[in-house]
C-alpha cells in the first residue's frame, strides 16, 4: 500500500506512514445507510366516520321501531279475537263461532186476569246485565164490554208513569184497541226494567177480563 500524502510505500495494514508519519487512509470506506420502509396508511376522514356511525344508529332505530309496530299489531289481533262475540236474536241461527252465546228464556206472566173500568194492570220485565237481543213475545185475548177489547203496551218505567196518568208514552209494542193480539217487542240490551201494560183506561162502566201468556228470550 502507498501513502496518499507522500507516496511512500508502506507495509499492508500500516496505520501511519513511515516517511511522513501521517495516518494512512484505508483503501476504501463503505458506508451503508439503511432506510426503513414505512407504509403510510391514510387516516379515515372524520366526516366518513360520522356518516357510518349515523347509518348504524339509524338502522338500530328503524329495527326497534319495526319490532314495536309488530308487537302492537300482534297484540291488537289477539285482543280482537278475545273480544269477538257474535249474538243472534231468539229467531236467529247460531253458527259455530269463537264465543257461542247461550239462549235464556224468562216467563213474564201466564194466566187470566180482570180489569175494572178505568184501570190498568202491568207485569214487570227484568233484563239482566249482559243480556243481548232481549225479545218479548206472547199472546193475549180480551172479553167484556161492548167490544171485548183492551190496549196492550210494552214500555219502560217512564212510559208506565205516563200511562198511569193518561198521557202519551213511548212504546216498544202497542196493540192499539184489540180483542186478540200477538206481542212482539225487541228491548235494548243490558240491565233494565220494562213492563207489559194491559189497559182498560178507556172504559167508563164496563170491566174487562183477559188472558195473557208472555215470555222473554235473550242471549248471554
CATH number of the structural domain spanning residue 195: 2.60.120.680
Residue 150 domain flag: yes
Which residue range(s) make up the domain with 156?
A: 103-219
Q: Which of 10, 18, 186 is nearest to 88 (CA)?
A: 186
Residue 151 domain flag: yes
* pLDDT of 26: 61
Residue 44 domain flag: no
Residue 9 domain flag: no
**Minimum mean pLDDT among 42-46, 98-102, 183-187, 192-196: which range?**
42-46
**How many structural domains compose the chain?**
1
Q: Which residues contact 174 (CB under 8 A, 6 or more apart)?
A: 151, 152, 153
Indicate the pTM of the whole model: 0.56
Residue 178 domain flag: yes
Higher pLDDT, 187 or 99: 187
Percent of the chain scored above 70 by pLDDT? 82
For 64-116, the pLDDT digits (tens) are 999 999 999 998 888 877 776 554 455 555 554 567 899 999 999 999 999 99
Residue 71 domain flag: no
Give me 70's grid cell. 309488530
Amino acid at each position: 500500500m502507498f501513502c496518499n500524502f507522500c507516496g511512500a510505500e508502506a507495509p499492508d495494514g500500516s496505520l501511519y506512514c513511515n516517511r511522513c508519519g501521517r495516518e494512512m487512509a484505508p483503501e476504501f470506506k463503505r458506508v451503508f445507510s439503511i432506510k426503513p420502509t414505512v407504509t403510510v396508511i391514510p387516516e379515515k376522514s372524520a366526516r366518513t366516520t360520522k356518516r357510518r356511525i349515523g347509518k348504524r344508529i339509524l338502522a338500530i332505530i328503524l329495527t326497534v321501531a319495526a319490532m314495536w309496530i309488530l308487537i302492537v299489531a300482534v297484540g291488537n289481533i289477539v285482543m280482537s279475537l278475545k273480544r269477538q262475540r257474535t249474538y243472534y236474536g231468539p229467531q236467529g241461527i247460531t253458527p259455530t263461532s269463537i264465543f257461542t252465546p247461550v239462549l235464556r228464556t224468562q216467563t213474564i206472566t201466564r194466566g187470566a186476569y180482570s180489569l175494572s173500568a178505568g184501570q190498568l194492570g202491568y207485569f214487570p220485565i227484568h233484563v239482566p246485565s249482559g243480556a243481548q237481543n232481549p225479545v218479548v213475545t206472547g199472546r193475549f185475548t180480551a172479553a167484556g164490554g161492548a167490544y171485548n177489547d183492551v190496549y196492550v203496551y210494552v214500555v219502560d218505567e217512564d212510559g208506565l208513569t205516563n200511562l198511569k196518568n193518561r198521557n202519551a208514552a213511548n212504546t216498544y209494542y202497542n196493540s192499539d184497541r184489540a180483542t186478540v193480539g200477538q206481542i212482539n217487542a225487541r228491548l235494548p240490551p243490558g240491565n233494565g226494567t220494562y213492563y207489559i201494560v194491559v189497559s182498560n183506561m178507556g172504559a167508563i162502566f164496563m170491566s174487562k177480563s183477559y188472558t195473557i201468556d208472555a215470555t222473554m228470550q235473550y242471549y248471554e
